[in-house]
Amino acid sequence: MHWSDVIGERLVSSKTPLHVVNTGITPSGEFHIGHLREILTGEMIVRGIRAQGGDARFCFVVDSADPLRKVYDFLDEAYEQYVGVQLFRIPPPDADGRPDMAAFSSGRTYADHFLEPFLEALKILGVQPELVYNHTEYLTGRYVEHIRTAIRERDKVRDIIERISGRDLPEDWWPFTPVDERGCQTGLQVSHVEGDLIHWVADDGRTGACDITKGEGKLPWRLDWPAKWCNLGVTCEPFGKDHGAAGGSYDTGKELCELLGGTPPEGLTYEWISLRGEGAMSSSSGNTVGPIEALRLVPPEILRYLIASTKPSKAIEFDTGMGLVTLADAYERLLRHDLEAKLEDPEISRRQRVSIEDDIVSTRLSSVADTGERPSAVGVTFRHLAMLVQIRDDDEAVWAMMPEDVGARSEFDARVRRMRHWVNSDHFPEEMRIAVRDAPDAERLSNLAEEEKPLHGALVKQLSDAIASGSWNEATLSRCIPDAAREVEQPLRSAYRLTYELILGVDVAPKLAPLLAAMDPSKALWLITGEPQQAS
Partner RNA sequence: GGGCCUGUAGCUUAGUCAGGUAGAGCGACGGACUCUUAAUCCGUCGGUCGCGGGUUCGAACCCCGUCAGGCCCGCCA
28-47 binders of RNA (CB under 7 A): 28, 32, 34-35, 37-38
134/367 with CB nearer RNA: 134
Contact segment (CB under 7 A) with RNA among 124-132, 204-212, 235-243, 414-422 equals 235-243
How big is the site for RNA, counted in residues (CB under 7 A)? 91
End-to-end CA distance of the chain: 62
User: Strand 56-62 to strand 19-25: parallel, antiparallel, or no bridges (unpaired)?
Assistant: parallel
H or E element in which residue 458 lies: helix 452-468
In degrees and rounded to multiples of 5, residue 14 shows phi and psi of -85, 0
CB of 394 to RNA, least distance (A): 19
Residue with Cβ nearer RNA (88 or 535): 88
Nearest to RNA of 55, 162 (CB atom): 162
Q: Name residues contacting RNA, limited to 267-306 (CB under 7 A).
A: 269-274, 280-284
* Residue nearer to RNA on the CB measure, 232 or 466: 466
Of these, 8, 91, 93, 240, which contacts RNA (CB under 7 A)?
240
Report the number of secondary-structure helices (H) and strands (E) in the chain: 24, 11
Residues in 440-499 that interact with RNA by CB under 7 A: 474-475, 477-479, 481-482, 486, 491-493, 495-497
Name the helix (H) or strand (E) containing 149.
Answer: helix 144-152
- Of 434, 448, 460, 518, which one interacts with RNA (CB under 7 A)? 434
Specify the DSSP class assigned to residue 75: S
List phi, psi (to 5°) of 67: -85, 160
Tell whether residue 242 is a contact of RNA (CB under 7 A): yes
> Which residue, among 492, 475, 470, has the nearest Cα to 483 in the 3D structure?
492
In the sheet that holds 273-275, the strands lie side by side as 279-280, 273-275, 316-318
Least Å from the CB of residue 250 to RNA: 9
The C-alpha atoms of residue 279 and residue 286 are separated, in whole angstroms, by: 12
Q: Which of residues 313-372 bind RNA (CB under 7 A)?
A: 313-316, 326, 329-330, 333, 336-337, 349, 351-352, 354-355, 358
Q: Please identify which residue in 117, 126, 220, 267 interacts with RNA, judged by CB under 7 A.
A: 220
Percent of the chain that is helix, strand, coil (3-state, to 5): 50, 10, 35
Q: How far apart are CA 45 and CA 47, in angstroms?
A: 5
Site string for RNA, 365-404 (x = CB under 7 A): ----------------x-xx-xx-----------------
CA distance to 322, 402, 404, 418, per residue, from 399 (Å): 25, 5, 10, 15
To RNA, the closest distance from the beta carbon of 480 in angstroms equals: 8
C-alpha angle 252/254/257, rounded to 5°? Answer: 105
Q: How far is the CB of 419 from RNA (least distance, A)?
A: 12
Judge whether 264 and 234 are in contact, CB under 8 Å: no
Among 310, 464, 522, 533, binds RNA (CB under 7 A): 310
**Sheet-wide strand order for 56-62:** 130-133, 56-62, 19-25, 236-240, 266-270
Which of 4, 22, 26, 362 binds RNA (CB under 7 A)? It is: 26
Are the CB atoms for 377 and 369 separated by under 8 Å?
Answer: no
Nearer to RNA, 14 or 532 (CB): 14
Subset of residues 144 to 183 that bind RNA, contact rule: CB under 7 A: 165-167, 177
The DSSP call for residue 338 is -
**Closer residue to RNA (CB): 53 or 277:** 277
Residue 123 identity (one-letter amino acid): K
Site string for RNA, 501-520 (x = CB under 7 A): -------xxxxxx-------
Q: Which of 66, 100, 180, 216 binds RNA (CB under 7 A)?
A: 66
Whole-angstrom Cα distance, residue 68 to residue 86?
A: 6
Binding status of residue 431 toward RNA by CB under 7 A: yes
By beta-carbon proximity to RNA, the closer residue of 107 and 345 is 345
- Nearer of residues 27 and 262 to RNA, judged by Cβ: 27
Comparing CB distances to RNA, the nearer of 351 and 534 is: 351
Most distant CA pair in the chain: distance in Å? Answer: 99
- Nearer Cβ to RNA (357/441): 357
- Contact indicator for 236, 19 with CB cutoff of 8 Å: yes
Contact call for residues 252 and 175 (beta carbons, < 8 A):
no
Residue 513 CB, nearest approach to RNA (Å)? 2
Question: For RNA, which is the closer residue by CB, 206 or 486?
Answer: 486
